[in-house]
Amino acid sequence: MPTRGIIYDRKGRILAENTPSYSLELIPEQIADIDDTLAKLKQLLDISDEKIELFQKQRKRQKTFYQYAVIAQYDRRRVSEICGG
């Protein structure tokens, strides 16, 4: 994510700042069993049925070898929990 800097109002209050966020993206053609992988990720990361359905819809509409986000905008704390750190 590009760093854009902090934006302040006239009184010096922060209006916008950089916040790191992380996504989990998959390239279905590089995964042997996409349904099994999604089921395991769903259980491991507590992904909602709605997000899995959205992923499947996007996958059917797009070209091959395209990366699809299963989860978007995780914060550093959640990534650390997933990675065991």
- Which pLDDT value is given to residue 9? 94
CA distance 78 to 16: 22
DSSP reduced 3-state for 54: helix
* Angle at 68 (CA atoms; ends 28, 80), nearest 5 degrees: 105
User: Which pLDDT score is estimated for 10?
Assistant: 95
Give the E-state strand segments of the chain in sequence order.
Answer: 7-8, 14-16, 22-26, 68-74
Mean pLDDT in consecutive groups of 10 residues from the start of the chain, 85 residues: 79 88 84 91 88 87 75 75 68
Domains of the chain: which residue ranges?
21-83
